[in-house]
Amino acid sequence: MSAASVPMMIRLPVWRARLTLVVLLAAFVVLAGRSVYLQSMNTGFLQGKGEARYTRVLDVPATRGRIVDRNGEALAISTPVKAVEVIPGGVHATPAQLASLAALLSLEPHELARKLAEAERKYVYLKRQLPPATAARVVELGIPGLQQKNESRRYYPGGESMAHLIGFTSVDGVGQEGIELAQQAQLAGAVGSRRVIQDRRQRIVEDVELIRPAQDGRDLALAIDGKIQNLAFGALKAAVEAHKAKAGAIVVLEVRTGEVLALANLPTYNPNNRARMTGAQLRNRVITDTFEPGSTLKPFTVGLAMELGLVTPQTVIQTAPGTLTIGGRTIHDAHPGGAMSVAQVIQKSSNVGAAKIALSMPREEMHGMFKRVGFGNAPGLGFPGEVNGRVREAKTWRPVEQATMAYGHGISVSLIQLARAYTVFARDGELAPLSLVKTGVPTEGKRVFSPEVARALRDMLEAAVQPGGTAPQARIVGWRVGGKTGTAHKLENGSYAARKYISSFVGFAPVSDPRLVIAVMLDEPSAGQYYGGQVAAPVFSQVMQGALRLLGVSYDAPLSPIEMPGEGEVAKENS
């Protein structure tokens, strides 16, 4: 047998085989022990690492509550929209796809490129509040790395007529102005959350669980009547344009409930498109601006004097020669009237007569009365920017200041404060609490004047709108009306501007059983006419007549046409 045919016989040492077996068994034990340790002793750590990479907790948005008027008509609603966002480092698109994406998102190509560059490091919104149809076209582009999120966009059917009352929200659905801000907690609801699993490109592949359900916001019914609001806004806008006024404001109050049925301002803005909005457009002048109310304050001076037993409607006040000098300053009547009854002082709007009545009373009594009718205190509507107005402490009044306050100079009020104060005459001497939210029930007021004094003043204020009074243009067919004009020089840099006026009218109807109080103000009418009876009273007339018809209020006057008096029959207010 040759050596090549003899099989090679190799025998390994026994110790080496055993060592190999021991090493293998030891490695197995180590791996098994490590596996047991990782899966039982350190489970939380590993799960945390895994979840950090593949699970994510997402917000579940809540639907914002609707805002509706007293009749259920929508004033603010939320509509579904989409947000397009970029996953960090995940976008891979051709130049043609990027050009189409920029066009769909209404972005310039360079702006899109900048956002995509930012998205290499973090999540970036390419576009928010995108209409669902447009968002669907973005999906059709098939660009990896883009994802969409459900959002909502606030829509305001009333547009510019309701803007100052309703306000608006931010892109994140947070109230920024008006009722949207004031009632944020009720309207917003509570955001929920859910846990999802994502792949390595951050795409959601599975919904794991709903952690906390979203709680939708609650709907809010306002006191506003949409039809009366539109009527008031239209009449105010026409007057501002006709008289070339700088601004205007109007408010309508329901006497029995204190509800605000309408509130409008000019200039205004469109809350659905705020691209060119300015600060002047945002101001809710009814609530946040103050002015000297002029002769609209004379009835309060007379009411206090009657309450103190110093005068009656028939008491004669000598106003001749039409001037009154106090401490070196002279008060004037535009049309001297000689001896007048107290009722005529209101009808003719005599500054001299009102000043003499004021000086017959302690200044502390006048100050207290102004405070009791709400001047110097915010009206308590809970609306952002409510102002107190200004009523100086009585101890600082000089005699001439007490005299001028009798006809609305040296005191500042907001239009909503002035309208509320006139509820004292409409409610038999009670001051009504106000509400922007629908209540529908009569409210208990605060006593200011006795019923007898309030009713006597109603008669005087009705005479003020009759021929020979200062506001015959405030009258309407079918209902008796009472009210008072105001025409005050504007304060600028501490002094009164010679040719700039605030023109106003405040009144109520029907006189027999008042249902509404309406206050109108025009800032700097500059088309030739500026008396409150000329520029503000006609707005009151138009809105009051339309509102009473809408509410179905019974007539208390003949349905015969009203003849407007000639210029010589109209008394011009003196302040």
Burial category of 500 from C-beta neighbours within 10 Å (exposed 0-12, middle 13-18, buried 19 and up): middle
Please give the pLDDT value at position 42: 60
Q: Which of 220, 221, 224, 222 is nearest to 262 (CA)?
A: 224
Q: Going residue by residue through the chain, which has 575 residues, state the pLDDT in tens, using 9 for 90 and above.
A: 455 555 555 666 777 777 778 888 888 888 877 777 667 666 666 566 555 556 777 677 788 999 999 999 999 999 999 888 887 767 778 888 888 988 998 889 888 888 888 777 677 888 888 899 998 998 888 888 788 888 889 999 999 999 999 999 998 889 999 999 999 999 998 887 777 776 655 566 666 677 788 788 899 999 999 999 999 999 999 999 999 999 999 999 999 999 999 999 999 999 998 877 787 888 999 999 999 999 999 999 999 999 999 999 999 999 999 999 998 899 998 778 899 999 999 999 999 999 999 999 999 999 999 999 999 999 999 999 999 999 999 999 999 999 999 999 999 999 999 999 999 999 999 999 999 999 989 999 999 999 999 999 999 999 999 998 999 999 999 999 999 999 998 888 778 888 899 999 999 999 999 999 999 999 999 999 999 999 999 999 999 999 999 999 999 999 888 877 665 556 666 66
Rounded CA gap, 460 and 342, in Å?
A: 9
Looking at CATH, the fold of the domain delimited by 55-86+150-222 is given as Penicillin-binding protein 2a (Domain 2) (3.90.1310)
Structure tokens at 518: 């309406």
**Distance from C-alpha of 442 to C-alpha of 351, rounded to nearest angstrom:** 36
Looking at domain 226-569, its CATH class is: alpha beta
* Residue-range domain boundaries for the chain: 55-86+150-222, 226-569
Specify the pLDDT at position 496. Answer: 85
CA atoms of 357 and 365, how far apart (whole Å): 13
Q: Which residue has the tokens 């007048």?
A: 340
Residue (of 68, 237, 171, 165) closest to 385 by Cα position: 165
pLDDT of 94: 86
C-beta separation of 471 from 533 below 8 A: yes
The rounded radius of gyration (Å) of the Cα atoms in the chain is 37
b or e along 336-353 (b: 16 or more beta carbons within 10 Å of the residue's beta carbon)?
Answer: ebeebbbbbbbbbbbbbb
What is the distance between the alpha carbons of residues 100 and 205, in angstroms, rounded to a whole number?
Answer: 27
Identity of the residue numbered 428: D
> 204-212 and 192-198 as β-strands: parallel, antiparallel, unpaired?
antiparallel
Separation between Cα atoms, residue 256 and residue 442, nearest integer Å: 5
Residue 136 neighbours by CB under 8 Å, 6+ apart? none
What's the Cα-to-Cα distance from 338 to each of 322, 501, 572, rounded to whole Å? 7, 27, 16
Cβ-based burial of 389 (10 A; exposed 0-12, middle 13-18, buried ≥19): buried
The 3-state DSSP class for residue 395 equals helix
Gap between the Cα atoms of 249 and 316, Å rounded:
36
What is the DSSP-derived secondary structure letter of residue 102?
Answer: H
Collect all residues with Cβ–Cβ distance below 8 Å to 346 and sequence separation of at least 6.
Answer: 298, 299, 302, 457, 460, 461, 463, 464, 484
Distances (CA, A) of 355 to 188, 325, 359, 367: 52, 10, 6, 15
Locate 344 and state its tokens: 């005529």
| pLDDT score at 363 | 96
Q: What pLDDT was estimated at residue 284?
A: 93
pTM of the shown model: 0.86
CA separation (Å) from 519 to 260, 264, 390, 463, 474?
12, 11, 19, 18, 12
Q: What does the buried/exposed string (b/e) look like for 25-51 if buried means 16 or more CB atoms within 10 Å of the residue's CB?
A: eeeeeeeeeeeeeeeeeeeeeeeeeee
Tokens in use for 105?
């998102």
Q: Which residues are catalytic, by number?
A: 295
232, 289, 448 from 525: Cα distances, Å: 18, 17, 34
What pLDDT does 150 receive?
84
Give the integer Cα–Cα distance in Å for 141 and 72.
42
Helical H runs in 266-350?
A: 279-282, 285-288, 298-307, 342-348
Residue 5 is encoded by which pair of tokens? 């045919």
Looking at the DSSP assignment, which residues form a beta bridge with residue 344? none
Q: Reduced to 3 states, what is the DSSP secondary structure of residue 248?
A: strand
